[in-house]
Amino acid sequence: MGPCRSWNRITMASEADRSKQSQVIDHHQCMAANLPQELIDAIVDYIWDDKPSLSCCAAVCRAFRARSRSLLFSSIVLSDAATCRRLHDNILTAIPDVASLVHRLEIVDPIPKDPRHHLDDTWIASSEWLPATIQLLAPHLRHIALTSEGYHYQNHDFTHVFHWRKASAELKGALLGAFSSKDMVSVELSGIVIDSCQGLFELLVGSSVKTLALPLFWHAIPGCVTRPPILPPHSRPQPQSLSVRLSDCLVNYMLSPYVAIDICHVRDLTLKVPGNFSPEIRPAATKLFLTMGNTVEKLVVEENIYFGYIPEVFQLTHCQNLKVVQFITTVYTMDNSYWTYLSRMLETIAPDNHMEEVLIKADLYSTGNLGNVSEWLDWGDLDEILTQPRMSYLKSVRIELSIWGQVNNHVDDWVRKGLPALQKNGVHVKMQSLSR
């Protein structure tokens, strides 16, 4: 009876109603034509009388409209082979226009539940659909990230990581094609094993990338071999934003005449300093600033500070156009060494600098109940450095502290009273503490 009554209502409708009904039907047919066939079959066969499910399908229909597709498919994250296969077979192949909407691709190989896997057990290396998927997306990509969350043991033993040398020719070709895409803006490579620093940077030769992030990578063999570049200098990428994890060989390579990227255009520089970074290589790392000239405007330094140890500072004398400096630090100490380290580094800034903002984000680890917080939150030197005439352009200072362990209840008061001279000079000071 239900279908008959519905049919009678339609046949008895006025001409205007039929015209309107026809438009609605045409509209839904147009949307249905853009839907995956699996979804259409499910609606017709199983959920035609399920109102909540039909409401969800209506939302999906709207998402597949032309004006909504760009938002739905602008960024894609692939974290397993099954997802990659479904994307390739059910969307990119069935609806080819979708590929032109994807501008950001993140390929992630997460740590498995049992991390002690064989080297080649990464889905990135074993997926037969990933190369084809990358090739379909590459012409329109602007951002690509490849992250392998593996382990590195001693004697160059790796577990569950992406080894570039052992990747298939199809996968290498697809990735290199994506890196050199004319619209590519940013590339991030993390957790991969490469033969050398030069081999890593040569993957990007010919790329127009403006943002390059290399937060973590390993060498497959000891040492780092540097040889003359194969391609002409004009093919070297010229990133404006560079994030690297420092190592002895990386610093030596970037200071060599054979470096495969042009670092003279970097404005935004992030240096990740590992715990095993050799103290004697710090002066060499400082030479990077001399090589980059006056282009660096923002510097971020991420590192760990250990008990009673004040590392040699990075000399910032050559960063005359530096406007923002940020320190992201995990501090394993209960003395004033960390603040002394920051003060010494800021003191190396050139007198004719343009520093406008200083950001300090520190995780402070303590091992016991400290009677007087002022013993390890003494910012007298820092306050003095930041109020010198050379800091005449300084507008704001922000300090965020995460304090671990037991501390007294006056830490918030001490944080609010910190840097009194700086606040007196009219500089906006924001301090925040969080006890964990």
pLDDT in tens, 291-337: 886 889 999 999 988 776 778 888 888 888 999 999 999 888 767 78
The half-sphere exposure of 25 on its side-chain side, counting CA atoms within 13 A, is 7
In this structure, of 17-26, 62-71, 222-231, 370-379, the range with the lowest mean pLDDT score is 17-26
> Which has the higher per-residue pLDDT, 80 or 275?
80
Q: Which of 12-16, 70-74, 323-327, 340-344 has the highest mean pLDDT?
A: 323-327
The overall average pLDDT reported for the chain is 79
Q: What is the helix (H) or strand (E) element at residue 27, kind and residue range?
A: helix 15-33
Which pLDDT score is estimated for 9?
37
**Does the pLDDT of residue 242 top 90, yes or no?**
yes
> Is 76 a residue whose pLDDT tops 90?
yes
Q: pLDDT per residue over 263-290, tens digit each?
A: 889 999 999 988 767 777 788 888 888 8
pLDDT at 198: 84
* pLDDT at 288 (0 to 100): 84
Query: Residue 76 is inside which H or E element, if any?
Result: strand 75-78
Q: Mean pLDDT, to the nearest integer, of 184-207? A: 88
Query: Where residue 22 falls among pLDDT bands split at 50, 70, 90?
Result: very low
Region 178-195: mean pLDDT is 91
Beta bridge partners of 434: 402
How far is the C-alpha of 163 from the C-alpha of 13, rounded, in Å?
Answer: 68
Q: Which of 65-69, 324-328, 401-405 has the highest mean pLDDT?
A: 324-328
What is the rounded CA–CA span in Å between residue 273 and residue 278?
10
H/E element, 422: helix 420-424
Which pLDDT score, from 0 to 100, does residue 333 have?
72
Looking at residue 2, what is its pLDDT? 40
Position 173 confidence tier, pLDDT thresholds 50, 70, 90? very high
Q: Where does the pLDDT of residue 370 fall: very low under 50, low under 70, confident under 90, or very high at 90 and above?
A: low
Question: Which tokens go with 141?
Answer: 């990509």
Say what the pLDDT of residue 260 is: 86
Place of tokens 């993390």: 190
Q: Which pLDDT score, from 0 to 100, does residue 126 have? A: 85
Q: Tell me the pLDDT band of 139, cut-offs 50, 70 and 90.
A: very high
- State the Cα–Cα distance between residues 109 and 133, nearest whole angstrom: 16
Q: CA-based Rg of the chain, rounded to a whole angstrom?
A: 28
- In this predicted structure, which of 73-87, 180-194, 308-322 has the lowest mean pLDDT? 308-322
In this predicted structure, the answer to whether residue 160 has a pLDDT above a threshold of 60 is yes
Average pLDDT in the 196-219 region?
88
Return the closest-CA partner of residue 109 out of 145, 148, 83, 160. Answer: 148
Q: What is the pTM of this model?
A: 0.80
Pick the more confident residue, 433 or 320: 320
What confidence score (pLDDT) does residue 7 get? Answer: 35
Greatest Cα pair distance in the chain:
90
The pLDDT of residue 367 is above 80: no
380 vs 23, more confident? 380
Distance CA 6, CA 9 (A): 5
- In the chain, % of residues over pLDDT 70: 71
Domain boundaries, the chain: 297-436
207: amino acid identity, one letter: S
Residue 279's pLDDT is 76
Q: What was the pLDDT predicted at 221?
A: 62
The stretch 414-436 carries a mean pLDDT of: 76
Cα→Cα distances 416→331, 363, 401, 409, 431, Å: 20, 18, 12, 13, 7
The answer to which of 105-109, 152-156, 206-210 has the lowest mean pLDDT is: 152-156
Query: What would the mean pLDDT of 249-267 be, rounded to a whole number?
Result: 87
Statement: residue 137 has pLDDT above 90: yes
Closest Cα to residue 143, out of 210, 198, 232, 78? 210
The angle formed by the CA atoms of residues 373, 334 and 370, to the nearest 5 degrees, is 40
pLDDT of 347 reads 92
